[in-house]
Amino acid sequence: MQNKERLSNIELLRIISMFMIVLSHYNFHGIISNSNIFSQGSFFNQIILSGCILGKIGVGLFFSITGFFLCQQKKFVFPKKFFSTILFYSLISLVIVSICTLAHVDVGMDAKKMIILIVQSLFTPVTGGVWWFATAYFALVLFCTQINRFMILLNKKGFLLSILCLFVFCNLLGNLGSNLHDLEKAIFYYFIGAYIHLFMSDKLTKTYIYSGVIAICGLFINAVGWFLCHSSDSIVRAVSYIITQINEPIVVASLLYFSVNTCIKSNKIINTFASFTFGVYLFHEFPYTRMLLWNVLLNPSDLYLQKYYFPAMLMSVVLIYVIACFVDWIRLKIFNEKIERIIRNVTFFLQRKCLK
């Protein structure tokens, strides 16, 4: 979101990453977290579902791409586009809640929680934790110049040691319980993206090909790991979970390295759709909209028990993605300049009145 020059090979990966996230949310929020019906689906559906839990890989790619682009930034740049996008989707979410309330649509959220959610989305959309990714991303951008100053001091071995420490203490052990786990994970993947930019940008044919093979194998391991996570044996579940946690950053690094070294000419269509990705996330992952999609409109848990689960899932995910892209296109064409002008004027006013 911060880079002015768009590289279509990286932007294509950004689109794929968001598709992974929406696909994962369809299966995780719509099936796994709603009911314990994994074993009730056919073997084919179980395999498909396991292979579609790609959200953590998609999120890791987003933070790594941020590290790839921002690792050499020396001065803090206020993310006006970030805040204008957040403000727009806070208002869109309010409209969705209002329409559903007037239409007496019950998504399973009590009135008190709904009111708190609306207040948070309007007044504290970043710090209130309405969208955890937005909170972690803003914190990462806020501290990225300090992180970059630290990274300048590191040689290649020091960088790898830092990544290893972040992996063990932030990414792996952080899953056991940490109030800052989202930010810790963001910093870990930021380091991976920065490392690829600083030390692995040169095209090396063999490693470039190998990274693609490693990524494919990693995606297969991820599917097997999630499948075994539903085993009745607790030891098998624990081992499978640990393997997926180790495997995810390997897949992220391999996919980013493969993408960086893929030659794609600047493509306006790819770059345009990539500019919608953050909007796609905000649109479908607002807590109320999430419950509306998975509990009322699409009902993935019902489709999971049917033979047509796979094509229905793909059509649903593509439909959500297309609608969200259209909404974000409206934001960019009609509202973006106006919202950014308001933010710019407020920022200038505060600077003039409050700073020496």
pLDDT in tens, 315-331: 999 999 999 999 999 99
Whether 50 has a pLDDT exceeding 90, the answer reads yes
* Residue (of 299, 320, 347) closest to 34 by Cα position: 299
- Tell me the pLDDT of the chain averaged across its residues: 89
Higher-pLDDT residue of 172 and 322 is: 322
* Residue (of 347, 346, 298, 340) closest to 319 by Cα position: 298
Q: Are 90 and 121 in contact (CB under 8 A)?
A: yes
Q: Which residues have CB under 8 Å from 51's CB, separation 6+?
A: 219, 222, 223, 226
Which of the residue ranges 36-45, 129-138, 183-192 would you say has the lowest mean pLDDT? 36-45
Q: Which residues have CB under 8 Å from 193's CB, separation 6+?
A: 63, 64, 65, 66, 67, 68, 69, 71, 256
Report residue 242 as tokens.
Answer: 């640990």
Amino acid 3: pLDDT: 46
Whether 209 has a pLDDT exceeding 60, the answer reads yes
Report, as an integer, the average pLDDT of 92-104: 92
Residue with tokens 């990693």: 218
* Residue (of 302, 262, 350) closest to 35 by Cα position: 302
In the 8-state DSSP scheme, what is residue 306? S
Residue 6 pLDDT grade (very low, low, confident, very high; cuts 50, 70, 90): confident
b (16+ CB within 10 A) / e for 284-307: bbbbbbbbbbbbeebbbbebbeee
Measure the CA–CA gap between 155 and 253, rounded to whole angstroms.
19
In terms of Cβ atoms closer than 10 Å to its own Cβ (0-12, 13-18, 19+), residue 319 is exposed
Measure the CA–CA gap between 24 and 54, rounded to whole angstroms.
5
Q: Are 67 and 142 in contact (CB under 8 A)?
A: no
Measure the CA–CA gap between 347 and 345, rounded to whole angstroms.
5
Residue with tokens 């059509």: 315
Amino acid 311: pLDDT: 95
Residue with tokens 């990462």: 140
* Residue (of 185, 256, 188, 245) closest to 221 by Cα position: 245
* Residue (of 34, 14, 27) closest to 53 by Cα position: 27
Q: Are 231 and 241 in contact (CB under 8 A)?
A: no
Report, as an integer, the average pLDDT of 200-216: 77
Residue 16 pLDDT grade (very low, low, confident, very high; cuts 50, 70, 90): very high
Report, as an integer, the average pLDDT of 42-46: 92
Q: What angle do CA 239, 243, 244 make, to 5 degrees?
A: 120
Which of the residue ranges 52-61, 107-116, 133-142, 325-334 would you say has the lowest mean pLDDT? 107-116
In terms of Cβ atoms closer than 10 Å to its own Cβ (0-12, 13-18, 19+), residue 198 is middle
Q: Are 294 and 300 in contact (CB under 8 A)?
A: yes
Higher-pLDDT residue of 209 and 268 is: 268
Which of the residue ranges 9-18, 165-174, 218-227, 347-356 would you say has the lowest mean pLDDT? 347-356
Residue 203 pLDDT grade (very low, low, confident, very high; cuts 50, 70, 90): low
Report, as an integer, the average pLDDT of 48-58: 94
Give me the DSSP letters along 33-63: TT-S-GGGS-HHHHHHHHHT--HHHHHHHHH
Whether 314 has a pLDDT exceeding 80, the answer reads yes
Amino acid 2: pLDDT: 46
Whether 1 has a pLDDT exceeding 60, the answer reads no
